[in-house]
Structure 1
Amino acid sequence: MTPSREFDLILYGATGFVGRLTADYVAGAAPTTARIALAGRSLDKLRAIRSELGDSAREWSLLVADADDQNALDAIAKRTRVVVTTVGPYARYGLGLAQACAQAGTHYADLTGEPLFVRECIDRFHTLAVRSGAKIVNSCGFDSVPSDLSVFLLHRRALEDHAGELASATLIATVRGGLSGGTIDSGRAQWEAIAEDPSLGRIVADPYALSPDPNRAPDLGKQSDHTLRRARGIDPSLPGWVTTFIMASHNTKIVRRTNGLLGWAYGKHFRYREVMHAGTSVTAPLIAAVVAAGLATLTLLGPMLSRGLGKRVLDRLVPAPGTGPDEQARDNGFFTMRTFTRTTTGTRYLATFAAEGDPGYKATAVLLGESGLSLAFDYNPRHEYGGVLTPASAMGEDLADRLSKSGMTISVDRIDN
């Protein structure tokens, strides 16, 4: 990547809901010497956001570019070392900026939880980014940094202990947080694409759809993200019930892509899944069953909700794009991700990744902000290669160290058998 750029980092989409939160975080976390710019469609809105960020952002430049203006996106990418974008749904608005960064040798980070978008980035831009040296890093928020880094750090610990490859791992998510209109709009954009081309549904259903070469993915039989079971079936110490985790379908694909990008370093027969803890009360089995059934139904009927009567009904029920939880709700949220793994030698480990704040918004602003800062300022020869990458394959332990210093809890412990 060309070092002589005008900016270290440009935040694109700074006037959006998550963009504003990310800009606020970066203003407090970036080095005082960092050269940062805010970008978006409206100069007036950008000025208003900058005025709210305090003295550290007073000199930040403001750049105007529409997601449909490829020339403007190309110009932005050529001026900076890193672009961080919160402008979604990415399938609608993200391809032009990813292309501009891949061509210019500019590192890029987004928040996408859209496997169809990531697959298109891989197909269109991976080779280009390898040649230019650009790191095009998808899913740098709650989708999918905690999942991806947890398994990466388990792998590193097993290597240090000479404990063999990872044989299997299960992540159990305990979360409290809200939904924004942007998140829902991203899901709807994917449903619309599948409604127009049903063959795309196979990509969403394929656990190895984002792997470097899906045709060479291991044949481990049926792997499903839908579940309903007692938690003790995962580890004897766990009480209560677990159910389907809404983000599992995307997160698990990212983790498997990391494994493939690292030459199947976790293990060619590594099994991975994610579930959500439903509680320990007497009503927990019912809650778990309702969630599992609801998400299974949504998977089947989602494309129908993207058009006609289904779309009109959904428009009345869900938040509009650009909205999200209020400050009190964001402060009251939290997440704890515990990943239980067993290696090929029978050694067991537990990775814990936890943070205060709404996972999709307050915590995601930290995850995305530190991802951008890592791409801009961290140098690690193990990760100095380009392509369409994942958080762990692009930044690995550097990002984990940054997030630990930001106040997140990240640990790996050996469990006695």
Structure 2
Amino acid sequence: MTDTREFDLVVFGATGYVGKLTAQYLLGAAPAEARIALAGRSERKLAAVRDEIGAHDWSLVVADSTDQDSLDALAARTTAVITTVGPYLRYGMPMVAACAKSGTHYADLTGEPLFIREAIDTYHDEAARTGAKIVNSCGYDSVPSDLSVYQLYRRTVADNTGELGDTTLIATMRGGVSGGTIDSGRAMMEIVAEDKSKGAVLSHPYSLSPDKSMEPDVGRQSDLVVSRAREIDPSLDGWVGTFVMASHNTKVVRRSNGLLGWVYGKNFRYRETMGVGSTPLAPLVAAGVTGGVVGALAVGSLLSRFRAGRALLDRILPAPGTGPSEQTRENGWFRMRTYAHTTSGARYVATFAGQGDPGYKATAVMLGESGLALAFDEKPELAGILTPAAAMGDALTERLRAAGMTIEVEALG
């Protein structure tokens, strides 16, 4: 496909905050011969971004998420598309439709389970038929989570130490929050406020599964956590609370397990937490973190039901298209450590770490490398609505290591 289409990779939404960061990263990371284009609604704004980042040889493609014909034409011209046009629930499905129809690979940044579920139900079969790899959540949500568990699985197979059992991620990080991230959360809350049945997709741990009946029967799995870290692994100290993106990331990891044939094991249980330290106040901090996540969701859901509440959220929350300063992006960092116990009693920890604001600088690297992997690398034959691990697990792992991120697995005992 790379030889028969005009472009190898198109960045759709290149004039947006994360779109421009991703395009800037690709300028230095893509092969010299790569045929890359920037796409969006305004040719004038696209040209300004191209000039600003210095990608003078890149083409420009005018396309609009409200114009299906323009997206169909875009998808037919390229091997792969990166899209940062969100919230995806509002604006993302037409690009999924275009790529599924034309057999074009696709990567996005969605943290919206409702969007992924709709994409699965509507376009998975068509994408599988055309050979399109439609890969959701290719940024900080949910690449570190997904690849960490995938690499743990690969290590247990190499060591012949049995299947994965209790597996828990502990996140530590420093970074900012953008208006686009906030807007995605609001889009989901507004839809759930209009249709209560959608709430089950957000609350059910296997709502993105390819076949819920095949999932491990390991009892209730809650995304809300307040516990001592040593309950995760005896080597740890301190306390953990709920990780803010646990509800989404855990669903993606469980979908990967299903797409790969439930290879992680019949006892695989997965959750995500955030480390809060070991001071005397740490238990209160852990409870506060967890309570804050629950409270924010409850208040946001309530306000989203009413016009006046939505207007209030418009005034107090960051606007779409905004994000952290360059200094914040540069000073940020993240470290995800995922502890796993196997059925043979072996213990492992996977470390996924990097420099730069996780949601923006690091996400631009993850999304950019995902697009390059889809455009250029050998990948599994699996097609349809996929996850990073199922679509390009080893290829993306090696790309991110080469880009300076730490991805490693260590045996603990």
Query: Are the counterparts in 1 of residues 215 and 262 from structure 2 also a CA contact under 8 Å?
Result: no
Give, as a single letter, the amino acid of the residue that structure 1 aligns with 2:38: L
Greater shift in the superposed pair: 369-378 or 280-289: 280-289
Query: C-alpha deviations, 1:160-198, integer Å up to 9, x for none?
Result: 111111112000000111110000000000001100100
- Alignment RMSD, CA only? 1.1
Give, as a single letter, the amino acid of the residue that structure 2 aligns with 1:169: T
Tell me which stretches of 4 or more aligned residues in structure 1 moved more than 4 Å.
none
SS of the residue corresponding to residue 5 of structure 1 reads coil
2:295 corresponding residue in structure 1: 297
Query: Are the counterparts in 1 of residues 139 and 359 from structure 2 also a CA contact under 8 Å?
Result: yes
Partner residue of 2:405 out of 392, 405, 408: 408
Query: Structure 2: which 5+ runs fail to align?
Result: none
Query: Are the counterparts in 1 of residues 243 and 272 from structure 2 also a CA contact under 8 Å?
Result: yes
Give, as a single letter, the amino acid of the residue that structure 2 aligns with 1:377: F
Shift of 1:220: 2.0
Query: Are the counterparts in 1 of residues 2 and 375 from structure 2 also a CA contact under 8 Å?
Result: no
2:143 corresponding residue in structure 1: 145
SS of the residue corresponding to residue 62 of structure 1 reads strand
Shift of 1:100: 0.3
SS of the residue corresponding to residue 243 of structure 1 reads strand
2:269 corresponding residue in structure 1: 271
1:67 corresponding residue in structure 2: 65
Does residue 7 in structure 1 map to residue 18 in structure 2?
A: no
1:171 corresponding residue in structure 2: 169
Does residue 310 in structure 1 map to residue 318 in structure 2?
A: no
Query: Are the counterparts in 2 of residues 2 and 105 from structure 1 also a CA contact under 8 Å?
Result: no
Give, as a single letter, the amino acid of the residue that structure 2 aligns with 1:19: G
Query: C-alpha deviations, 1:49-76, integer Å up to 9, x for none?
Result: 000122xx21100011111000000000
Query: Are the counterparts in 2 of residues 107 and 134 from structure 1 also a CA contact under 8 Å?
Result: yes
Query: C-alpha deviations, 1:209-268, integer Å up to 9, x for none?
Result: 001012433332211100111112212222221001110000000000000001100012
Aligned equivalents of 1:233 and 1:220: distance in 2?
A: 17
Give, as a single letter, the amino acid of the residue that structure 1 aligns with 2:50: R
Q: Normalized against structure 2, the TM-score is what?
A: 0.98
Partner residue of 1:386 out of 383, 388, 394: 383
Give, as a single letter, the amino acid of the residue that structure 2 aligns with 1:41: R
Does residue 121 in structure 1 map to residue 119 in structure 2?
A: yes
2:183 corresponding residue in structure 1: 185
Shift of 1:318: 1.3
Shift of 1:3: 4.7
Does residue 396 in structure 1 map to residue 393 in structure 2?
A: yes
Give, as a single letter, the amino acid of the residue that structure 1 aligns with 2:361: K
Query: Structure 1: which 5+ runs fail to align?
Result: none
Shift of 1:2: 7.2
Give, as a single letter, the amino acid of the residue that structure 2 aligns with 1:157: R
Matched positions, count: 412
Shift of 1:297: 2.1
Aligned equivalents of 1:188 and 1:289: distance in 2?
A: 24
Aligned equivalents of 2:308 and 2:217: distance in 1?
A: 40
Aligned equivalents of 1:113 and 1:369: distance in 2?
A: 17
2:358 corresponding residue in structure 1: 359
2:22 corresponding residue in structure 1: 22
Aligned equivalents of 2:377 and 2:231: distance in 1?
A: 40
Aligned equivalents of 1:282 and 1:93: distance in 2?
A: 46
SS of the residue corresponding to residue 395 of structure 1 reads helix
